Amino acid sequence: MDELAAMIDDSALELIRYCLRRAPDESIEVNEAWLDTARDALGEDGPERAIVTPSCGLAKTGRSKA
């Protein structure tokens, strides 16, 4: 089960990285919509190792802070 969770986290992080590479070419509305969709799909803090915030638009590794 832990292996499956890790695979999901890794896939989610790859999706986040892909979208962030495209973010500068998209409008603010498109980026906000993507963030809302990601939060709906992944939970408010995203996968365990990802931090995604609309204010900075960055994803980085590390544990999210509550």
| pLDDT at residue 34, as a whole number | 79
pLDDT in tens, 19-47: 778 888 888 888 888 778 777 777 666 55
pTM comes to: 0.42
Q: What is the mean pLDDT of the chain?
A: 67
CA distance 16 to 1: 23
Domains in the chain: boundaries: 2-61
| pLDDT at residue 1, as a whole number | 58
| pLDDT at residue 24, as a whole number | 84
Sequence-distant (6+) residues with CB within 8 A of 26 are 34
User: Which residue in this structure is represented by tokens 């990285």?
Assistant: 17
